[in-house]
Amino acid sequence: MIQVKSLYKSFEDKDVLLDINATFNQGKTNLIIGQSGSGKTVFIKCLVGLLKPTKGQILYDNRDFLSMSKNEKKLLRREMGMIFQSAALFDSLSVLENVMFPLDMFSNDTLRDRTRRAQFCLDRVNLLDAQKKFPGEISGGMQKRVAIARAIALNPKYLFCDEPNSGLDPKTSLLIDELIHDITTEYDMTTIINTHDMNSVMGIGESIIYIYQGRKEWEGTKDEIFTATNKRLNDFIFASDLLKKVRNEEINDISANDVDL
């Protein structure tokens, strides 16, 4: 479980995050939603320690991240897996070598054990056959799966995904979402996913927070989101093409019923 208490982040005179309070549960896919520029990436970067919050608290299973020494932070980071939008694979390394990279960096296991672990993770994402290929030789969806395998190589307790579906078609996005959801349950991780994709919200939104201009404006589940009364959240939801479609179908259903009557 990760708890965030009254978190603020400003850049010089620009306030990006304001008084964020949230709890992210273990074994669940916790979604952070909001339109582009609302502060999702800055938030996740604060959580993993890539940015220093202006004030507030971040508790990793009751361990206070921001008051830790450099060394303690370093150790805690090994419990984190990350799939970042910008963190591409290393083009000059094979698929297997990409997944082995964190193991080579952080584990003292033998080459044989590291190879086995990497192959196990690749097998989990159904990519063992592609282990000798290079990132340039595989599809975008496969690259994301390699990134997932790499993120779970060190058996993390916490998994962070920043827009994991960016650049993928809807069908592939769905598969990636399901994969992230399944490994979250399987390894009982606390997973946090930034997204502005309503398909993801409806698929894996077990726990959702909505951020608007750096403030948390709503929290709930995918089942609760449709009855939310927050106007800005509703605008965000119904700006999505998919939701427009669902809404139109409902309207069509109603008019079809009307005709029957």
Number of residues lying near Mg ion (CB under 5 A):
2
According to the binding rule CB under 6 A, does residue 164 interact with ligand ADP?
no
d(C-alpha 129, C-alpha 131), whole Å:
6
According to the binding rule CB under 5 A, does residue 173 interact with Mg ion?
no
Instruction: Name the minimum Å distance from CB 167 to ligand ADP.
Output: 15
Query: Where does this chain touch Mg ion (CB under 5 A) — which range of 2-10, 11-19, 32-40, 111-119?
Result: 32-40
DSSP letter (8 states) at residue 101: H
According to the binding rule CB under 6 A, does residue 227 interact with ligand ADP?
no
According to the binding rule CB under 6 A, does residue 38 interact with ligand ADP?
yes
According to the binding rule CB under 6 A, does residue 4 interact with ligand ADP?
no
List the strands of the sheet with 63-64, edge to edge: 14-24, 2-11, 55-60, 63-64
Residue type, 91: D
Residue placing its CB nearer to ligand ADP in the complex, 39 or 156: 39
According to the binding rule CB under 6 A, does residue 36 interact with ligand ADP?
yes
The label of the residue with tokens 């070598």 reads: 97
Contact yes or no for 217/32 (Cβ under 8 A): no
According to the binding rule CB under 5 A, does residue 41 interact with Mg ion?
yes
Contact yes or no for 148/172 (Cβ under 8 A): no
Instruction: Name the minimum Å distance from CB 40 to ligand ADP.
Output: 3
Binder of ligand ADP out of 4, 16, 154, 201 (CB under 6 A): 16
Beta strands in 14-64 (DSSP E): 14-24, 28-33, 55-60, 63-64
Q: Treating both helix axes as pointing N-terminal to C-terminal, what angle do 140-152 and 111-124 enclose, rounded to 10 degrees?
A: 130
Residue placing its CB nearer to Mg ion in the complex, 30 or 41: 41
Choose the one of ligand ADP, Mg ion, none that binds residue 38, judging by a C-beta under 5 to 8 angstroms depending on kind: ligand ADP
According to the binding rule CB under 6 A, does residue 37 interact with ligand ADP?
yes
According to the binding rule CB under 6 A, does residue 239 interact with ligand ADP?
no
d(C-alpha 244, C-alpha 32), whole Å:
21
DSSP letters, 86-141, are S----TTS-HHHHHHHHHHHH----HHHHHHHHHHHHHHTT-GGGTTS-GGGS-HH
Q: Provide the CA 55 distance to its chain's centre, in angstroms.
A: 23
Instruction: Name the minimum Å distance from CB 87 to Mg ion.
Output: 13
Q: What is the footprint of Mg ion within residues 200-219 (CB under 5 A)? A: none
Query: Where does this chain touch ligand ADP (CB under 6 A) — which range of 8-16, 65-73, 116-124, 146-154?
Result: 8-16
- Tokens for 6, please give them: 């009254």
Contact yes or no for 9/16 (Cβ under 8 A): yes
Contact yes or no for 177/156 (Cβ under 8 A): no
Choose the one of Mg ion, ligand ADP, none that binds residue 11, judging by a C-beta under 5 to 8 angstroms depending on kind: ligand ADP
Task: Name the site residues for Mg ion (rule: CB under 5 A).
Answer: 40-41
Task: Name the site residues for ligand ADP (rule: CB under 6 A).
Answer: 11, 14, 16, 34, 36-42
